Chain A
C-alpha cells in the first residue's frame, strides 16, 4: 500500500485535465482510466480571479480526488499565490508544485522549487513537487517538508519516455520509502509500465492521453500498463544477464 500524505489512492494512474478535445471526452478518459487523481491547472485556466469557475466545476464533477497544480508559474511568489488560490477553490491542501525555470524544456527551477515547497509546507500544504531526478534536490525537498516526490521522465509534453533511467533508478534506490510519481514526458503505455517496473508508486499523464486520436481508449491502455508494471514490480522481475541461460537443460544433448 502506498500512502500519499496518509491517503491511499484507488489507482496509481494520475491524469492531467488539459488539452482534451472537450470536457465530455475528458470525463470519458478519466472514467476509462479509473484515474486515482486528476490534476488541474489554475494559473493558465484562470487568467484572472474566479474566471475558471465553470471548468473547475466540471473537474469537481468528475468525482475523483483533485490535485491542483501551479503549471505555468515561473517564480516562488506566483507559485505560492496560485497554491493558495487552489486551496480555496478546491478545498484541498494538496498541491502539485511546479516552478518552471527554463522555457524551452519547461525544466523545473529546483532552487525556487525548494523555497516554494518550504513556504507552502509551513503554511500547511501537502506538496507534490515536480522536480528533475536530481538526488540532492530530492534531499532538499524532503528536508523542506515534502513527503512525496514527482521526478520528470522527460520534458513536459515531449513523449520521450524515461530519459534518464540510471537517474530514476538511483532516486528510487536512495529514497525507498518516499512515495514517488513519475510526472511528465511519458508518451506511450510502455513508458508508464517501465516507470512502475522501476518501483515508482504512480505515474502522471496528460498530453499522451489528451492528444491521442482516441483519448478514452488511450486512457484505458495506460491504466492497464500501470497495473501491469506494478504487478511486475511486486512479482520481482528476473535479473538481466549478458549470457543466454537456457530455460531447458542442455546437459546430455549434443551441443556442437
Chain B
C-alpha cells in the first residue's frame, strides 16, 4: 500500500504511529503539536484496542512508589498537568488509601514506602467520602493525585490528532508496510513482543460495576496482604475495579477465582456493592520489560515506545516527549 496522499502540507517530518492506545495517541498528539505530519495506524476497529481500554487511568505518582522505583514517581510528576491540558474530565480529587481494621498495618507499610500524603482519621474520611463513614478508622490521603476515564481520554486524544491535521486509520492489517514516512513510532504494546524479545505480558483482570447506592469521589485503594484492589469512580455511578497482576501471557477471560477475590474486596469496602450490576469483565496483557519500566528504544528511524507495564497513563506523556525529541533531533 502506498503512503496516504492527503498528507498535511508543511515542512514537518512524516511520522507513522502504529497503535492507537495510550502510548500511540499521546505520541501522535505530542508529535503533531511539534509540527510533525502524523498518521496513526490501528489494527483494531477503535482506539484503545489493547491494554489501554482496561486501564484504571489513575494518575498517582506518589502511590505508585509503593511498588515502583523512585524513577517512576520522579518522571511522572508532570503527568497530571499534561492530561489536564489535553483532555477534558481530569479529576484532581486525590487518592484515598485504606484497609480493613484487621489489615491496618498494611497502611503503615504503604505509608513507609510512599510520600506526599496525609494520615487521616474517621472524621476526615467521612468528610472526603461520606459513604465510607463509620467503616474505616484510618487512611492515607494523597491530595495531589488524580485520574481520568481512559476511554474518554483516548477518544479526546484521537480528536486532537485530527484537529492538528493528523489522520487515524482503523482496521489496518498488522503486516502492512506503508511507504513514504520519515519515521515510524511503534506503540503496539504486547503485539511487538516478537521484535522486542525481552518484553513479556503481565496479565491483568478488571471489572466494571454500576452501583447507584454508593458514591465515591476519587480512586480508593484498598490494601490487603493477598488481594489489594483499587476502585476508580467513573460517571453515573460506574466503577472500575482492578486489577490482578499475574505473570502470564494468557489473555483469555477472567477466572472465577480472580472475580471472587476482587468482588469480595469490593464488598468489604462497602456492603452496598453487593447490589451492584456487573457491566463488564476484562483481561489485558501489560507489555513489560524486565525492570517493569516503560522505555523508548530506537534503531535508525524506527522508534518503539513500549513496556508501559502498569504505568501507561502515568508515563506515556513523558515517553512521547522523549520520542518527539528523537524525531526532532533534540535527543
Q: Which residues of A line the B interface, CB within 8 A?
A: 21-25, 27, 44-48, 51-55, 58, 157, 213
Contact = CB atoms under 8 A, between A and B. Distances in A.
A103 B68 CA distance: 29
A46 B292 CA distance: 19
Contacts of B5: none
Contacts, number: 56
A206 B288 CA distance: 22
A55 B292 CA distance: 13
Given A44-B246, A54-B201, 12 more contacts: A22-B69, A22-B288, A22-B290, A22-B292, A23-B200, A45-B247, A46-B250, A48-B250, A52-B249, A54-B193, A54-B200, A54-B247
B248 A24 contact: no
Interface in B280-319: 288, 290-293
Contacts of A46: 248, 250
Contact of A47 (B67, B225, B248): B248
A24 B199 CA distance: 12
Contacts of B4: none
B180 interface: no
B78 to A, nearest CB: 23
Contact of B290 (A44, A53, A58, A157): A58
Contact of B247 (A24, A48, A52): A52
Nearest to A213: B113
Given A24-B290, A58-B200, A47 B250 contact: yes
13 contacts: A23-B291, A25-B291, A27-B290, A45-B246, A45-B248, A47-B252, A48-B252, A54-B200, A55-B200, A55-B248, A58-B200, A157-B226, A213-B112
Nearest to A106: B226
A24 B291 contact: yes
How many of chain B's residues touch chain A, expressed as a range? Answer: 20 to 34
A22 B255 CA distance: 24
B248 A157 contact: no
A45 B255 CA distance: 13
Nearest to B255: A47
Interface of A: prevailing SS: helix
Contact of B292 (A21, A51, A157): A21
B203 interface: yes
State the majority secondary structure of interface residues on B: loop
A74 B299 CA distance: 49
Contacts of B255: 47
Nearest to B202: A55
Given A47-B255, A157-B225, A213-B113, A21 B67 contact: yes
A154 to B, nearest CB: 13
Contacts of A52: 247-249
A51 B69 contact: no
A47 B252 CA distance: 9
A141 to B, nearest CB: 27
A53 B203 CA distance: 13
Contacts of A51: 203, 248-250
Nearest to A26: B290
B263 to A, nearest CB: 16
A253 to B, nearest CB: 50
Interface string B249-272: 110100100000000000000000
B203 A47 contact: yes
A247 B278 CA distance: 72
A47 B204 CA distance: 11
B265 to A, nearest CB: 14
Interface string B106-146: 00000011000000000000000000000000000000000
A69 to B, nearest CB: 14
Nearest to A54: B200
Given A55-B247, A157-B226, A213-B113, A23 B290 contact: yes
Contacts of A25: 291
Nearest to B292: A22
